[in-house]
Structure 1
Amino acid sequence: MKAFIYFLLFLPLFGLKSNAQEIKKFYVGTFTSEGAEGIYLCGFDTKTGELSLENIFKAVDNPSFLKVSPDNKNLYVVTRPAVEIEELGGYVSAYAIQKNGSLQFLNKQVSHGADPCHVDVSPDGKFVAIATYGGGTTSLYPVNKDGSLQPASTTIEHKGSGADKSRQSVPHAHSVKFSPFSSAVFNADLGTDQLNIFELKNNELIHATQQFAKMKPGAGPRHFDFHPNGNFIYVINELNSTVTALKKQNQKWESFQTISTLPDDYNEKSYCADIHISNDGRFLYGSNRGHNSISVFKIDKTSGKLNLISTVSTEGEWPRNFALSPCGRFLLAANQHSHNISVFKIHQEKGTLEFTGNELQVPSPVCIEFIN
Structure 2
Amino acid sequence: MGDRTADAAEHRVYIGSFTSSGGRGITTAALDPETGALTELSTTDVLADPSYLVEGVHEGVLYAVSESAEGAAGAFVAEGRGLRLLGAPVPVGGAGPTHLDVAWPWLLTAHYTSGGVGALAIADDGSLTGPPHVLHHRGSGPDPARQEGPHAHHVLADPSLNWVLSVDLGTDSVRVCSLDEHTGTLRPHSETALTPGNGPRHLAFHPDGEVAYVVNELRPLLTVCRWDAEAGTLEPVAEVPIALEPAPGAVPEAGRGDVRAYPSAIAVARDGRFVWVAVRGADVLVTFSLAGGAEEPRRAGAVDCGGRWPRDLALDVWRDRLYAANEHSGDVTWFDVDPATGQPRRAGSLPVPAATCVLFA
User: Which of the numbers 301, 320, 324 marks the counterpart of 1:329?
Assistant: 320
Contact 2:18–2:50 (8 Å) recurs in 1: yes
Shift of 1:321: 0.6
Contact 2:134–2:186 (8 Å) recurs in 1: no
Q: Does 1:248 align with 2:227?
A: yes
User: Which of the numbers 41, 63, 67 marks the counterpart of 2:54?
Assistant: 67
Partner of 2:301: 310
Q: Supply the distance in 2 between the matched residues of 1:174 and 1:312 (Cα, whole angstroms).
A: 26
Contact 1:153–1:203 (8 Å) recurs in 2: no
Question: Residues 303 and 45 of structure 1: is their aligned pair in 2 closer, same or farther, counting only changes over 3 Å?
Answer: closer
Shift of 1:353: 0.7
- Structure 1, 312-321 or 200-209: larger mean CA deviation: 200-209
Contact 2:214–2:224 (8 Å) recurs in 1: yes
Unaligned runs of 5+ in 1: 1-13, 84-88
> What residue identity is the alignment partner of 2:349?
E
User: Which of the numbers 265, 279, 293 marks the counterpart of 1:274?
Assistant: 265
Q: Does 1:204 align with 2:191?
A: no
Q: Does 1:173 align with 2:163?
A: no
> What residue identity is the alignment partner of 2:50?
P
Shift of 1:266: 1.3
Contact 1:96–1:106 (8 Å) recurs in 2: no
> What residue identity is the alignment partner of 1:121?
V
Partner of 1:9: none
> What residue identity is the alignment partner of 1:297?
F
Contact 1:137–1:156 (8 Å) recurs in 2: yes
When normalised by structure 2's length, the TM-score is: 0.91
When normalised by structure 1's length, the TM-score is: 0.88
Q: Does 1:295 align with 2:286?
A: yes
Partner of 2:162: 183
Partner of 2:14: 27
Partner of 1:11: none
Shift of 1:152: 3.9
Q: Which has the larger radius of gyration?
A: 1
- Structure 1, 102-111 or 50-59: larger mean CA deviation: 102-111
> What residue identity is the alignment partner of 1:95?
F
What secondary structure does 2:36 align onto?
coil
Unaligned runs of 5+ in 2: 246-251
Q: Does 1:363 align with 2:353?
A: yes
Q: Does 1:340 align with 2:331?
A: yes
Question: Residues 158 and 25 of structure 1: is their aligned pair in 2 closer, same or farther, counting only changes over 3 Å?
Answer: same
Residue deviations 1:113-167 (CA, integer Å, cap 9, x gap):
1111111112xx3110001111102001121100111214520110000111111
Partner of 1:93: 74
Contact 1:139–1:152 (8 Å) recurs in 2: no
What secondary structure does 2:129 align onto?
coil
Equivalenced residue count is 347
Q: Supply the distance in 2 between the matched residues of 1:234 and 1:80 (Cα, whole angstroms).
A: 25
Q: Supply the distance in 2 between the matched residues of 1:260 and 1:320 (Cα, whole angstroms).
A: 19
Contact 1:28–1:368 (8 Å) recurs in 2: yes
- Structure 1, 65-74 or 167-176: larger mean CA deviation: 65-74
User: Which of the numbers 231, 239, 244 marks the counterpart of 2:210?
Assistant: 231
Contact 2:42–2:81 (8 Å) recurs in 1: no
Q: Supply the distance in 2 between the matched residues of 1:96 and 1:21 (Cα, whole angstroms).
A: 20
